[in-house]
Structure 1
């Protein structure tokens, strides 16, 4: 069951239930890092929805699932137990937090995320978590499809070149050898795919606040978001 917060918009609203803050935007816009730090500043949970999709993709990859075969997908989902704890995700008890970040699983995730059964499965889990506790959640359809009534919604944007540089640096830090040009090429393809998905397409919610992150540090972006959250929901109920 979805939480029932008041509609996001101008003005201040005191909390009457779990606070849901959504951060959407294209791949490489810095959503995960910003969402994690914002949640920490607010004293609430960070929910990495992308990791949930990646974990399902990893499971499907291991089992050789044909994502176009609904029966195979249904059996896969029935066998899965996902547990998200801080910045770690567990698949049937196994910590797969690092395994899901490889380029191979990134490509597999793009295919898995197009499957309505997968999205329905994970959206139900995400809403169940939000019904129990306040959280910051990020993805591409959190403010439009998953939590349309979230109190505060953000849409982060950055140039393709800047996003590719960020992703390339992430790969380098993890010891993954991949050319910047390849990262940029795949990111542009991902942008095209994400905007055209039949279910859960990347789209800015009408009431989302757009934040341009080019030239801003993570902490600067978090400061901007925090001010907006405070102006929307007041300060009495926040973690700070």
Structure 2
């Protein structure tokens, strides 16, 4: 069986950065499931598809030509760059991800990413729905205010305008939507390692989880 590590949690906890770093350290593949929904939201906007039209979104999801190459996200060969990392893209992703038909359309694609030598998958339902058999499941959390502050620094660092208060409101709204959606709600998987990163650096979190990886996969860690 392919070794799998799932990292779930709300937006802004650093799970994407952590997943990429962990996958690079282990020499494994990395699945950014959140990017799939961000790409779908972007593609829907380009085609003027209503984000509440579940049937049209599921049809689009089934034919979505997404590939991940060296940390880049490509849609039909187009490098999307930061276009899918905006707050607007994040909110669109949360809305399209609430549709059961959309999640079903993307489920098989995500599961096919599990291949040797191993996979680190980050998202909202990696451990609960997509890879419930994963030997190591992590749920990464942080306070909404801390996540808003991190996102603010990230956007300002990229030269983009941002409002801290608005980011905090957006994050809380997204949390509520993700935790209360009828299918695959955001919640810790059974047996997940719970990590609150509010007062921790990304290095602290990485070392903490790497120690758990060594325990679960003693023959896999360099």
User: TM-score scaled by structure 1?
Assistant: 0.87
CA offsets, 1:120-147, max 9 Å, x none?
A: 1222111011145511111111100111
Which residue of the partner structure matches residue 166 of structure 1? 150
DSSP-derived class of the 1:154 partner: strand
Contact 1:46 1:86 in 2 (8 A): no
Name which structure has the greater RCO, CA cutoff 8 Å, separation 6+: 1
1:45 aligns with 2:29: yes
Kept in 2: contact 1:61–1:108 (CA 8 A): no
| CA RMSD across the alignment | 1.5
Instruction: Answer yes or no: is the 8 Å Cα contact 1:74–1:117 preserved in 2.
Output: yes
Larger Cα-atom Rg: 1
Task: State the distance in 2 between where 1:27 and 1:98 align.
Answer: 16
Using the alignment, how far apart are the partners of 2:47 and 2:28 within structure 1? 35
Instruction: Give the aligned partner of residue 200 of structure 2.
Output: 216
Counterparts of 1:113 and 1:74, CA distance in 2: 10
Q: Please tell me whether residue 95 in structure 1 is matched to residue 84 in structure 2.
A: no
Match of 1:35 in 2: 19
Q: Which residue of structure 1 aligns with residue 70 of structure 2?
A: 86
Alignment of 1:1-240 (within 5 A): 17-131=1-115, 133-234=117-218, 236-238=219-221, 240=222
Which whole-Å CA distance do the structure 2 matches of 1:65 and 1:85 have between them? 27
Give the total of aligned pairs. 222
Q: Is the 8 A contact 2:51 2:92 kept in 1?
A: no
Are the aligned partners of 1:24 and 1:141 in contact in 2 as well (CA < 8 Å)? Answer: yes
Stretch of structure 1 that moved more, 63-72 or 101-110: 63-72
- 2:55–2:101: 8 Å Cα contact kept in structure 1? no
Contact preservation (8 Å) 2:26, 2:220: no
Residue 68 and residue 131 in structure 1: after superposition, are their counterparts in 2 closer, same or farther (change >3 A)? same
